[in-house]
Structure 1
């Protein structure tokens, strides 16, 4: 009997949270208990009015309720859901959820892309070998994002030994990212869409030999016409987001920042072929423009494919949609209607090498899967996993003192925390995983079917996705892999500035 080879070992970061509470929730609950006690001591010591105590207790109860009561729709606490709702209402009231572009623009045009992509613009440069490539410059944060186009070899025809080698090399490659101080995060984007009705016919017509027999040419044309829309357009790219200002010596101008990114990119892209993919080269500014335009305007995919063959360069102003509007449950942009999800939980059990195949396999609807990985610096990884192991031991001691029986899930969580510490000591990398998935249709009546199809694929891939209620446009931008990271966006704002 052949034994099925499994991999895995993911574990959510928990810190010193008590029970199933996070560190933040534990701190808030502790404050809700200690603040009323401190208030009572202050009243008894300084003879303050007794009215202060009921107000403090009421505020503590409200704070505890907002922190502990979960909101299943948003995947956060009730307080977090109220914050998201308030931000969404503010954005709608100020008109930030709509976008218009072109000669009939109603608002002053300051940017080329809508929403969180507004500060981004492309830069064209050349690598050390003189080959052109493009980077996306975030004018607000100074980050630069570059992309490497790849073609996965696949494990269908590969033996188990070769598959294990590729997965092991991928793990080593992830660990090496922690030694590059300028890398913020990596996004692996897999995009699939049904081919346009004329794409296959145009390809066959371009390859036909005029000197071939007429019956051969007619047969090929007939076959191509019979299979209109039966093929799929698949693209895979690995995007790297850099913070060049963290380099030493620090770059002094834009040219040195781009040169630093090119140097760092050369170090990490060279090992990608060892992970079971063939590199097709770095993406140029033209590639970025066509990717964004096809995402915002899916009806233009066929025309963009023909322009790509002639190496026609679109202007950056053509990358975005003419109009867009972010609604609570979906995002309308140009000729497409999209729904996006964020990953809520990774599989808790060991998985096979093809666990994500149902999610990334082409289907009837346009789908884009972006897997992001934020590596911890190599010098901080040991501290992170040690803290997680200490937190698991702290929860075990707390359960023992309280007389609470240990469950199988608690034991497995502690074992995974200890295993992560041992693996990091042997050279494994440590990082934060996330995933953003978007499905797009050109007819809004097909949206319910596309949603059901994607959610079914996610269940088959053993993933738990959470629909991005209220922030569909942000999840859509995150799935593009253009340097937008929702976790980092949440830390921005008036107080951060």
Structure 2
């Protein structure tokens, strides 16, 4: 390894999961092709006309399975998305009104959509710290939310950054050994600093006998500093599932989670997470409340600083009203638009590839970047790696020219993945979602331009979550919403499509 490679480490070698089947058809499409050809051949023994009549609808049914977008969706999936949107709009499901003047039972401000049936419980870990547990009764899932204050990469040696990345990789690999873990997410939220914490810290310490000039200088600093600063919060959610055949009491599950939290927090500290701690149910409710109504962010900080807490409950963390449109989500004092990952950076990247995307963006009220992880158990990881290895070797031996050169590069990548997996590394499926919140719908276009510039600098491709903005907004909140757990079609069947 050269000195240049040692001083400037690079990362990458991620691959899109290979879809089983023939080309873009998928497994179901491949079965349909071969099954249909057999039927057509048998029909041709009777009459060529009958065979032609059977062949035409077969081609019409299978062709949409072969036409796919950049992110791998076929025509049937696009049609299903549009049909579901029209159905929700016809039923009025894209509108939500809560509170005492609404028709909602109880007259409270429960979060809408995927969070409407979620409940929150609280337990205490081994250090007697309170932590909230979000219970998803429909899916029998339990979510723990952890908060941390990352050290950041400014004025840090590259060797230390490399160590942090390695420790983060070990922490992700450890998730595949967590019993019952369905998925994890890392949510980085940025927003302009309202200056509330600075004002409470500085103004309360000014001596009444201080000179007028000194008082004026400190008051000016408190007023002007927030305009050039921003606040950043990092949340990690871990979602566990209980098998349907195991009936466990909620309190037993919470006790089990309390035992695991200290070990998970220590791993985050070693990966550069700084001060890591579990979030109480009150703090979780505050995060959701501010996300739906950004205008109350300063009030929440003020009340917390003056009284040590807000007393906010989960049943009052939602918006008073929200409206979902094709390309936006209107909620209380904000308008949001979400994007979903379609293509990860190709080739090798450096550790700072997402720095611009994670930093605060000018002209936005709040911005959340959510990295979603789906750990794969070691046995399944070994099968996937070996299947990719055999497929890459077959393509390399059968191709020519440019195809053979690309296949050879693919062989080197899968060989490295196989070696790392054999040495104990974990295999994780990941994705990325982004939500930007502004004050009005007129500012969405400018925010979209800002996001496109950030994506170009980060070398990733994302598409707007059109016709599912409400669900995408919920997925970027630190509440443990996993997209693959919220679909009616099983994940294995989706991969076969």
**How high is the TM-score relative to the length of structure 2?**
0.90
Displacement of 1:109: 6.2
Deviations 1:270-320 (A, max 9, x none): 211110121341100111111001100011111111122221211222211
Per the TM alignment, residue 84 of structure 1 is displaced from its structure 2 partner at its CA by 0.7
- Match of 1:188, SS state, is strand
Q: Secondary structure at the match of 1:475?
A: helix
Distance 1:441 1:222 in 2: 27
Alpha-carbon distance between aligned partners in 2 of 1:107 and 1:353, rounded to the nearest angstrom: 47
Alignment-derived partner of residue 4 in structure 1: 8
- Which segments of 5 or more consecutive residues in structure 1 lack a partner in the other structure? none
Alignment of 1:140-289 (within 5 A): 140-196=138-194, 200-245=198-243, 252-289=248-285
Cα distance in 1, alignment partners of residues 424 and 221 from structure 2: 53
Distance 1:51 1:482 in 2: 58
CA contact (8 A) 2:269 2:276 kept: no
Q: What is the aligned residue count?
A: 482
Deviation at 1:51, TM superposition (A): 6.3
Deviations 1:168-208 (A, max 9, x none): 11111111111112211111110001123766445432343
Answer 1 or 2: which has greater helix percent: 2
**2:43 corresponds to 1:43:** yes
Where in structure 2 are there 5+ consecutive unaligned residues? none
Matches within 5 A, 1:26-425: 26-43=26-43, 47=46, 52-71=50-69, 76-106=73-103, 112-196=110-194, 200-245=198-243, 252-309=248-305, 310=307, 311-364=309-362, 365=364, 366-397=366-397, 399-400=398-399, 406-425=403-422
Q: Following TM superposition, by how much is the alpha carbon of 1:437 offset from its aligned partner in structure 2, in angstroms?
A: 0.5
Cα shift readout 1:309-337 (whole Å, capped 9, x = no counterpart): 22121122221111111111111111110
When structure 1 is superposed on structure 2, of 253-262 and 105-114 the one drifting more is: 105-114
Supply the RMSD in Å over aligned alpha carbons: 2.5
Q: Distance in 2 between matches of 1:287 and 1:324?
A: 22
Cα 1:78–1:15, aligned 2, differ >3 Å: closer, same or farther?
A: closer
Deviation at 1:108, TM superposition (A): 5.1
Task: Give 1:158 shift.
Answer: 1.5
1:334-385: CA deviation from partner (whole Å, max 9, x where unpaired): 1110000111111111111111101001122121001011111123221121
Distance apart, 1:216 and its partner CA: 1.5
CA positional deviation for 1:407? 4.6
Q: Is the deviation greater in 219-228 or in 93-102?
A: 219-228
Deviation at 1:414, TM superposition (A): 2.8
In the superposition, the TM-score normalised over structure 1's length comes to: 0.90
Tell me how far apart the structure 1 counterparts of residues 462 and 371 of structure 2 sit (CA, whole Å). Answer: 13
Please say if residues 36 and 53 of structure 1, whose CA atoms lie closer than 8 Å, have aligned partners that are also in contact. Answer: no
Shift of 1:490: 2.4
Aligned-partner Cα distance in 2 for 1:315–1:51: 69
1:69 and 1:123 map into 2 onto residues whose CA distance is 46
Work out whether residues 242 and 261 of structure 1, in 8 Å CA contact, stay in contact via their aligned partners in 2: no
SS of 2:133's partner is strand
Counterpart-to-counterpart distance in 2, 1:15 and 1:389: 14
- Give the 3-state SS of the residue equivalent to 1:272 in structure 2: helix
For residues 244 and 36 of structure 2, the distance between their equivalents in structure 1, rounded to whole angstroms, comes to 44
- In the TM superposition, what whole-angstrom CA distance separates every residue of 1:450-484 from its partner, at most 9, and x where no partner exists? 11111211111111112111111111111113121
In structure 2, the residue matched to 1:479 is: 476
- Give the conservation status (yes or no) of the 8 Å contact 2:21–2:29: no
Distance 1:388 1:308, change over 3 A: farther
User: 1:392-420, CA deviations, whole angstroms, 9 ceiling, x for partnerless residues?
Assistant: 234345x44xx686254333223212211
